[in-house]
Amino acid sequence: MSAPERVEIYDTTLRDGSQREGLSLTVEDKLRVARQLDSLGVHYIEGGWPGANPKDEEFFSRAPGELNLEFSQLVAFGSTRRAGGKADDDETLKNLVKANTHTVCIVAKSWDYHVTEALNTTLEEAVEMVRDSVAYLKGKGLDVFLDAEHFFDGYKRNADFAMQVLAAAQEEGADRLVLCDTNGGSLPHEVEAIVGDVRSAMPEAAFGCHFHNDANCAVANALAAVRLGVFQVQGCINGYGERTGNANLCSVIPNLALKMGIETIPADRLDRLTPVAHHIAEIVNLTMDPQQPFVGSSAFAHKAGLHTSAIARASDAYEHVAPDAVGNLTRFVVSELAGRSTVQLRAQELGIDLDGKTLAGVLETLKNLEYRGYHFEAADGSFELLLRRATGWEQDFFKLESFRVTMEKRADGEVTTEATIKLHAAGERIIATAEGNGPVHALDQALRRAIGLAHPALGAIHLTDYKVRVLDTQKGTGAVTRVLLDSTDGDRDWSTIGVSENIIEASWQALSDSIVYGLRQAESPPE
Ligand SMILES: [Zn+2]
């Protein structure tokens, strides 16, 4: 029993992943996520449960005409026939066939406790349900994957029944037997022992695995299963999923490919991993965890000022894989602890030439700004603009003349905010007014109205997070407010900062830096 040379990647972001709290996908979103997964090159995309809800039904009816998948295969998900029923008049099975995919995946109970408690039927009938359902779907010419639900917990209590479920599916010609850790509590040594037993008992069968992350071991468990010959790994991008999530494919894929030498997605697409992870986070409207391994913005960020020059010289001494292999970057985080070398390195990375005098000026400016409450560690966008301005660069997207924000609260509870902005752009004086659900939103809308036509790239740029912190609380309401804004254009994320005694002025600084940074990126791609 040794690891396979190639592992199939089976993504279930559109079905299991969307069970995550706070994640909800429209049909349009599902199509967009599927396109991203196809561009990454996963082998299978589980699209949903046809017939279970109108959304999934619409997805499967639109997918063939609108997706044009180049690489991935779409899979429809469902369950075995009902207890006591017949396969050929079972609604779920009929819907699976109607979904018109080449491959279907059906879930079956493999823990005896669930059969008697949840299904309310006998163990013999549960095995027949698997047998009939697989035979029916194979009879329709489909590739059939069997998700053995609660397999690990079931095997620990009643191995004989769990194995009967697998054997029935195997005998009827199921193409993959997928061992599921549905409650997500298994540990790698248990997975090793159980997968080892199962593989010895059924050496000819083709196995997959499906781990949840409740013990924070989903990725480790998947790697352990692969080492014992399991050759399909199911999981989700960014580890989305119910409760604590499914096995994170953004970690599974590079661990298999870069560390275990196993072929997963096409090798020349591995560097799409970070952009795809960020793009999908964007579509599902969840902020990326900066600490996410491989693809997070902090995954290769170094803060230690003294060591930064050493890291630049020999990055492999400080990084477990080359960041560009997964489409990520080394970053040097700027803080007042970091000295001259960090600033110089950051400038070099950005292709900005700082002579000695300019560098000294930047360090002086930084010291002053940090004293006033700026904090560039978390504001890479503003820091880059600061470096560029130090070399004499000036943004020419707009020149502010003035802005005004008014807010009205009426007795009936209605609150309205309106912003008017006056600025000069492309030789013209422009006045624009917009409403918003708060002062920052209204200002953002007014600025977009003023310069949006001249800069279509603005359409892709939007704010993802707004954080306010009051510094020096001893001063009470006179304290300084620090605003941090996170923004994205769908491919990359950046953060900007503003500091003022006035929260709206602080917000404006961060907002205008964000827009200037985003437009500069869009209109002058990196050197
Ligand atoms: Zn699951």
Going from the Cα of 150 to the center of ligand 1, the distance in angstroms, rounded, reads: 9
- 3-state SS, 417-447, equals EEEEEEEEECCEEEEEEEEECCHHHHHHHHH
Q: What is the biggest distance separating any 2 CA atoms in the chain, rounded to whole angstroms?
A: 83
Going from the Cα of 319 to the center of ligand 1, the distance in angstroms, rounded, reads: 32
What separation, in Å, do the N-terminal and C-terminal C-alpha atoms of the chain show? 49
Going from the Cα of 75 to the center of ligand 1, the distance in angstroms, rounded, reads: 15
Q: What letter represents residue 380's amino acid?
A: D
Going from the Cα of 217 to the center of ligand 1, the distance in angstroms, rounded, reads: 14
Going from the Cα of 220 to the center of ligand 1, the distance in angstroms, rounded, reads: 16
Going from the Cα of 47 to the center of ligand 1, the distance in angstroms, rounded, reads: 14
Domain with CATH 3.20.20.70 in the chain: 8-284
Beta-bridge partner residues of 77? 105
Going from the Cα of 183 to the center of ligand 1, the distance in angstroms, rounded, reads: 8
Going from the Cα of 87 to the center of ligand 1, the distance in angstroms, rounded, reads: 24
Going from the Cα of 213 to the center of ligand 1, the distance in angstroms, rounded, reads: 10
- Where does 372-397+459-527 sit in CATH, by number? 3.30.160.340
Going from the Cα of 464 to the center of ligand 1, the distance in angstroms, rounded, reads: 29
| 14 contact partners, CB below 8 Å, separation of at least 6 | 25, 30, 33, 34, 45, 46, 47, 48, 59
Are 109 and 130 contacting, i.e. CB atoms less than 8 angstroms apart? Answer: no
- Tokens read off for 484: 């941090």
Domain with CATH 3.30.160.340 in the chain: 372-397+459-527
Determine whether domain 400-454 maps to CATH 3.40.30. Answer: no
Going from the Cα of 212 to the center of ligand 1, the distance in angstroms, rounded, reads: 6
Among candidate residues 201, 252, 244, the one with its CA nearest the CA of residue 222: 252
**What's the order of all strands across the beta sheet hosting 399-409?**
399-409, 415-425, 428-436
Going from the Cα of 107 to the center of ligand 1, the distance in angstroms, rounded, reads: 10
- Token look-up 């540990």 returns 187
Going from the Cα of 16 to the center of ligand 1, the distance in angstroms, rounded, reads: 6
The pTM of the full predicted model, rounded to 2 decimals, is 0.77
Going from the Cα of 519 to the center of ligand 1, the distance in angstroms, rounded, reads: 41
Among candidate residues 222, 153, 160, the one with its CA nearest the CA of residue 182: 153
Going from the Cα of 182 to the center of ligand 1, the distance in angstroms, rounded, reads: 5
- Token look-up 């605003």 returns 483
DSSP string, 159-191: HHHHHHHHHHHHHTT-SEEEEEETT----HHHH
8-284: what CATH class? alpha beta
Going from the Cα of 258 to the center of ligand 1, the distance in angstroms, rounded, reads: 26
Q: What does each of the 527 residues of the chain score in pLDDT, given as a tens digit?
A: 788 999 999 999 999 999 999 898 999 999 999 999 999 999 999 999 998 888 999 999 999 889 999 999 999 999 999 999 999 999 999 999 999 999 999 999 999 999 998 888 999 999 999 999 999 999 999 999 999 999 999 999 999 999 999 999 999 999 999 999 999 999 999 999 999 999 999 999 999 999 999 999 999 999 999 999 999 999 999 999 999 999 999 999 999 999 999 999 999 999 999 999 998 998 888 888 999 999 998 999 887 665 677 777 788 888 999 999 999 988 887 765 557 777 888 898 888 988 889 998 998 898 888 888 887 877 899 999 999 999 999 999 999 999 999 999 999 989 999 999 999 998 999 999 999 999 999 999 999 999 998 999 999 998 988 888 887 645 555 688 999 999 999 888 899 999 999 999 999 999 999 999 999 999 876 54
Estimate the share of the chain in helix, then strand, then coil, as percent rounded to the nearest 5: 45, 20, 30
Are 168 and 134 contacting, i.e. CB atoms less than 8 angstroms apart? Answer: yes
Q: Is 280 exposed, middle or buried (0-12, 13-18, 19+ CB in 10 A)?
A: buried
Q: What is the pLDDT of residues 15-38, one digit of tens each?
A: 999 999 989 899 999 999 999 999
